[in-house]
Chain A
């Protein structure tokens, strides 16, 4: 086995353990809480309907059986794609999530890509011209962005760009009643503000890592060599500094994905964007626990998958792993 495959295998093992722990946590948390775990498992709405229904559901979901047995049937259900039933939506949890998730993905993908590009370009420029007026200016701006609650910046954007300037809609995904290209244009118009907010946060996050990475690489011996042999500044930057500084960013952008998902959840709520964020918000308000657990599981699986893909990519890209030896 080469170093690369063993590296990927060890990462796969690590992610499998993480997934197993997440699944087990979702099983244990509601059962460890004080009070009747039944409330935590089926949601508050059902509990107060009727005692007969409660008893019937308990038997149906096997909640009257011992814990190990429950755990096994819980795992079996998950493998079959059965995430439970949302009484708030009167639908299986998976059906609700599958519909909402695509709208979150629609917001996330452009934000992650644009945020990465903006952060990398600005970070590289600021790191290369470290200490210049531009570096100080952009760094201060991104520091301030970094310190803001995501959803509050979203509220600010709505106030300025939608409420006062009227350039963009206040909320929602689409005005409705449109088809084809018209609908696409309308959705794009509606997503401009939320995507801008998320892009700025993604950029702020990548900016500091890229800037630090460029500063660190600039101090290395090979940069001095490159200068000494008479290369122009831009040649040093593009051929030697950036190629080395970009590498850690592959993993960072993936880790960033988890951070962006959390941001998207909150920003969606402000824009009443009907994705996972508004779903989680409604589930919290209605204390619809099966829906909350299902949402968490799906989000966690997406984040783990993104990180695993990044690790594989890293192993392919980094010659130090590719060539056989790690480091």
Chain B
């Protein structure tokens, strides 16, 4: 086992990308992401108050409360800073679940081909066509509201595009000489898939993972807005839900619902910029290798 594991690890060269090859949009995305990661990690140092501590309600922005307070007097700026943790956490974990499912489906469907491929791709087509938000609403409405349930629900329905991309990459890879030589040396299917094919699909999987984080964060915000979020974990989506359902929106208290929306948009934008940039890079490398 240990030999297998160490061999497996040695095959994984993480696609570290040289900085100078990055385009401007990707750099902007990375900077934004760094900003939000810092907010999440250093939340207790940055936030002036405990986000759950009640106080004077419905304050407009003042010096002591830069974004005012909500309906029970909690400081909106502190909620926002701590909300970064929840929103990023849900985004990363849901994307992780979806990418693991998508990668496994894509790997096996592309490598095994034949009946297994048809069955797996048929399933992918069907999941792709079911309207996902309404189905997620039903699943979330039937389970108790918790971020783990939201993570599983999003992950279970968001894997189709990863599966398709990984499959098409595997179809190309499996015909390459190095795979054939591995097979000639007597390597088993599982070994070839995980030690030779998977490492060569990592870059495209990384791009899909980052785009999945963006999608998962938006979906979490939508589910929370519908009142299906975790009431014990105040994400940005939950803040918008509270601002909408508890009078902030009707009364035009913009300082309550503009900041969380801006944060969601910028965080999603950062992942979209990085993800699109990585896909573009991958496409260029693929074209270069064809020539």
Contacts and interface: CB of A to CB of B under 8 A. Distances in A.
B126 interface: yes
Contacts of A304: 129
B227 A25 contact: no
* Residue in B134, B244, B258 with the greatest tally of chain A CB atoms within 10 Å: B134
A155 B249 contact: yes
Nearest to A14: B125
Nearest to A32: B142
Interface stretch (B6-14, B70-78, B196-204, B263-271): B263-271
A287 B137 CA distance: 11
A318 to B, nearest CB: 19
A155 to B, nearest CB: 6
Contact of A300 (B134, B226, B257, B264): B134
Contacts of B252: 159, 163
Interface stretch (B59-67, B103-111, B214-222): B214-222
Interface string B225-249: 1111000000001001000100001
B143 interface: yes
Contact of A14 (B126, B227, B244, B258): B126
Given A18-B126, A266-B222, A266-B225, A293 B138 contact: yes
Given A29-B138, A258-B131, A159 B214 contact: no
Given A152-B264, A159-B252, A284-B227, A303 B141 contact: no
Interface stretch (A116-124, A142-150, A319-327): A142-150
A292 B131 contact: no
Contact of A159 (B122, B139, B254): B254
Contact of A265 (B134, B227, B244): B134
A29 B137 CA distance: 12
A33 interface: yes
Contacts, number: 124
B135 interface: yes
Interface in A28-68: 29-30, 33, 40
Nearest to B237: A149
Given A152-B240, A284-B228, A304-B129, A296 B221 contact: no
A197 interface: no
A66 to B, nearest CB: 22
A146 B265 CA distance: 9
B130 interface: yes
A222 to B, nearest CB: 19
Chain A interface size, under 10 / 10 to 19 / 20 to 34 / 35 or more? 35 or more
A15 B254 CA distance: 45
A74 interface: no
B134 A149 contact: no
Interface string A1-22: 0000000000000110110011
B269 A296 contact: no
A295 interface: yes
B26 interface: no
A40 B142 contact: yes
Contacts of B134: 261-262, 265, 280, 295-296, 299-300
B138 A296 contact: yes
Contacts of A253: none
Given A147-B269, A152-B265, A265 B142 contact: no
* Residue in B135, B138, B269 with the greatest tally of chain A CB atoms within 10 Å: B138
Interface in A261-277: 261-262, 265-266, 269-270
B150 interface: no
Nearest to A150: B222
A270 B257 CA distance: 12
A159 to B, nearest CB: 6
Interface in A143-177: 143-144, 146-152, 155-156, 158-159, 163
Interface string A267-311: 001100000000011001101010011011001100110010000
B90 interface: no
B132 A262 contact: yes
Nearest to A301: B131
A18 B227 contact: no
Contact of A284 (B141, B237, B254, B257): B141
A262 B131 contact: yes
Given A29-B138, A163-B252, A147 B214 contact: yes
A265 B133 contact: yes
A151 B225 contact: yes
Given A156-B258, A258-B132, A284-B228, 20 more contacts: A14-B126, A18-B126, A25-B135, A29-B139, A33-B142, A149-B218, A150-B222, A155-B257, A156-B261, A159-B252, A262-B222, A270-B244, A281-B227, A284-B137, A284-B141, A284-B227, A295-B134, A300-B130, A300-B131, A300-B134
Closest CB pairs A-B (n = 5): A262-B133, A152-B261, A147-B269, A147-B268, A148-B265
9 contacts: A18-B126, A21-B126, A22-B130, A147-B272, A151-B225, A258-B131, A258-B132, A265-B134, A284-B226
